[in-house]
Amino acid sequence: MLGASANPSRYSHRAVERLRALGHEVFGVNPSRPDLGPVPVVASVRDLPPDVHTLTIYVAPERSAELADELTRAGFRRVIFNPGSENPAVAARLAASGVEVMEACTLVLLVTGEFG
């Protein structure tokens, strides 16, 4: 999760909790490396394990634009841009490299069983 937060009022924090409750392995990405208890948090996308299937994004479009090269090279099979994080230019780059791109709410996908 890009933009993982230790603040329980943040949607990214709620999504981490929900993903874990449903048995998904979760890694946080945040340069300030907040303490998320049992969830490992890395400073950069580059620090994630190489086999991460889905990246769910909770950062502003300006931030994902800065990370576009890293995101494209990371090898994700799916990237979800949550509401407020949408970035058409980065999404187009990812899609052109074969990544499934979604503009959706991770929490809604989890509740409706569409997350996978």
- The Cα–Cα gap between 28 and 76 comes to 15
CATH number at residue 20: 3.40.50.720
Average pLDDT, the chain: 96
Residue 2 is given by DSSP the state B
Within the chain, what is the greatest distance between any pair of CA atoms?
Answer: 36
What would the pLDDT profile of 61-104 be if each residue is shown by its tens digit?
A: 999 999 999 999 999 999 999 999 999 999 999 999 999 999 99
Question: Would you say 17 and 79 are in contact if contact means Cβ atoms under 8 Å apart?
Answer: no
- Strand, coil or helix: 7: coil
Tell me the residue range of the domain where 49 lies. Answer: 11-112
Total domains present in the chain: 1
What would the pLDDT profile of 87-99 be if each residue is shown by its tens digit?
A: 999 999 999 999 9
pLDDT of residue 33: 92
Residue 56 is given by DSSP the state E
Query: Residue 103 falls within a domain, yes or no?
Result: yes
Query: Residue 4 falls within a domain, yes or no?
Result: no
pLDDT of residue 34: 86
What would the pLDDT profile of 13-36 be if each residue is shown by its tens digit?
A: 999 999 999 999 999 999 999 899
pLDDT band at 59 (very low <50, low <70, confident <90, very high): very high
pTM, two decimals, is 0.95
